[in-house]
Amino acid sequence: MSYRVCLVCLGNICRSPMAEVVLRSTLADHGLGDLVSVDSAGTGGWHQGHPMDDRAAATLAEHGYDGSLHRARQFLAPWFGEIDLVLAMDNDNLRALRRLAPPGADVRLLRSFDPAAPEGAEVPDPYYDGRESFTEVLEMVKAASEGLAKHLAAVLR
């Protein structure tokens, strides 16, 4: 793997693991699966070791993705030395990551790679909402993953 991406939300049980699974699949579809490593983490550590939220896993499964191997973990500042691109799901997590980041670290919002998303668009936290919110998150993640795959294809080839 020559390029590493880490997707980050608050607890690493909903948005970022969904994005990890989708991005990994999208990169494989674009022939980049062997060139890019994809991980996820949370800015908070209270879910460490837990599997993905059942609703997130079910939403992924309904759309042909498998999130069963995921276990939550907390993002740590030393990881910046190993990761090329850190993608936050929302502005709160973006600010938290930028506080940890060394100068020059590439930290952005995931939806900045979706050409149809407005500037500053976030992936909202579906945790306290119904199942339809997880489907909406999945659609946002899929669109951003396509844009990111196209960006990485241009950068890495």
Contact 65, 21 (CB under 8 A): yes
Place of tokens 């907390």: 74
DSSP H or E run through 128: none
Active site residues: 9, 15, 125
45: its two tokens: 């550590």
Rg (CA), the chain: 14
What is the arrangement of strands in the sheet containing 3-9, beginning at the earlier edge strand? 36-42, 3-9, 85-88, 107-109
Torsion sign over Cα 103, 72, 116, 126: negative
Give CA–CA dist 3/15, Å, rounded. 21
